[in-house]
Amino acid sequence: MTDIRDSTDRSEPLSDPSLLRLPPISAPGRGPWLRIGGPFGFEWNRVTLPIRGLPPALAGYRILHLTDFHFRKRWSRAYEQLHERIRQDPPGLVLMGGDYVENKYNHLPGLPHVRRLLSGLTFRDGCFGVLGNHDGEIGPHIDGHNITLIDRKRIVVDTEAGPIELIGLPRLQRPHGPDQPFIDALPPKAPNVPRVILSHYSDYVYRTTKAPPDLFLAGHTHGGQICLPGNIAILKHTSLPRRMAHGIHRIGETWLVANRGMGCSTIAVRLFCPPEVVEIELAAEK
């Protein structure tokens, strides 16, 4: 039996809880509370998020957010389980949040596994991604391998249900922060076209308030990776409040999705912080 769970993260109180329509939970159990080495299980977390002005044709449209695999030298059966789960019911879009490999200076040990992961992904309208702070010079070696990198790009994807705008924030290192001129040059959001920003860092969400997206998808924090019981992050890896190191949060007009990711950084250990993928279903805001 695979160790995969359908659930919704309820850790963050919202300014208006009625905005979040929680789907029913159907699961054999939580993801592994302790992980040493490669993943042997993960959570499949599903959430329905209402979007203002969403066209009726896009209601029910699904986006799968994957991030922070941190591939080293090993391939895990959990990735086969991920492939199989996606093949059973492909989402419209797969969006990747960066940190495909662990070694910042030598991507070669992890590169074959990154390509194997990407080649096994199935989707209806495309797979797009940005790079993370661990990814070094891996970009040219994966761009076009069943993924399109959109760092510092704005594109409109003509999905089978209607257009969706995607924006990839560039992965500039701290303390420099994101490319603010790029963000400031973003045009106003088009009516009835959902805007999705894909970023490696969750705290960059406050840099986008002049051109707020409907969804801001981020990783990097690993949810803390090593936590106290209850997913309480010891090291949060973000300037946002500790409770926002993972989960779904409402910031103004934007839904922030802080994904715990699949991998581990520095030490291959997770404690009280299961790996996860996040499946988002779009709904019209009432």
pLDDT tens-digit map of 19-38: 444 433 333 457 888 988 88
- pLDDT beyond 90 at 110: yes
CB 269 within 8 A of CB 35: yes
- Prediction pTM value: 0.90
pLDDT for residue 7 is more than 60:
no
For residue 16, is it within any domain? Answer: yes
Q: Is residue 1 part of a domain?
A: no
128 lies in some domain: yes
* Helix, strand, coil share of the chain (percent; to 5): 15, 30, 55
The string of pLDDT tens digits covering residues 39-89 is: 788 999 999 999 999 999 999 999 999 999 999 999 999 999 999 999 999
> In this structure, is residue 170 part of a structural domain?
yes
Q: Which of 180-184, 233-237, 280-284 has the highest mean pLDDT?
A: 280-284
> What beta strand segments (E) does the chain contain?
6-7, 34-36, 43-51, 62-66, 93-96, 126-129, 148-149, 153-159, 162-168, 195-201, 215-219, 227-228, 232-233, 247-251, 254-258, 269-271, 276-284
CATH number at residue 228: 3.60.21.10
- Give the residue with greater pLDDT, 168 vs 177: 168
> Does 220 map to a domain?
yes
Task: Give a yes or no: residue 229 inside a domain.
Answer: yes
Residue-number span of the structural domain to which 221 is assigned = 6-25+32-284
pLDDT in tens, 33-51: 898 888 788 999 999 999 9
The pLDDT value recorded for residue 18 is 37
Domains in the chain: how many in total?
1
DSSP-derived letter for residue 118 is: H
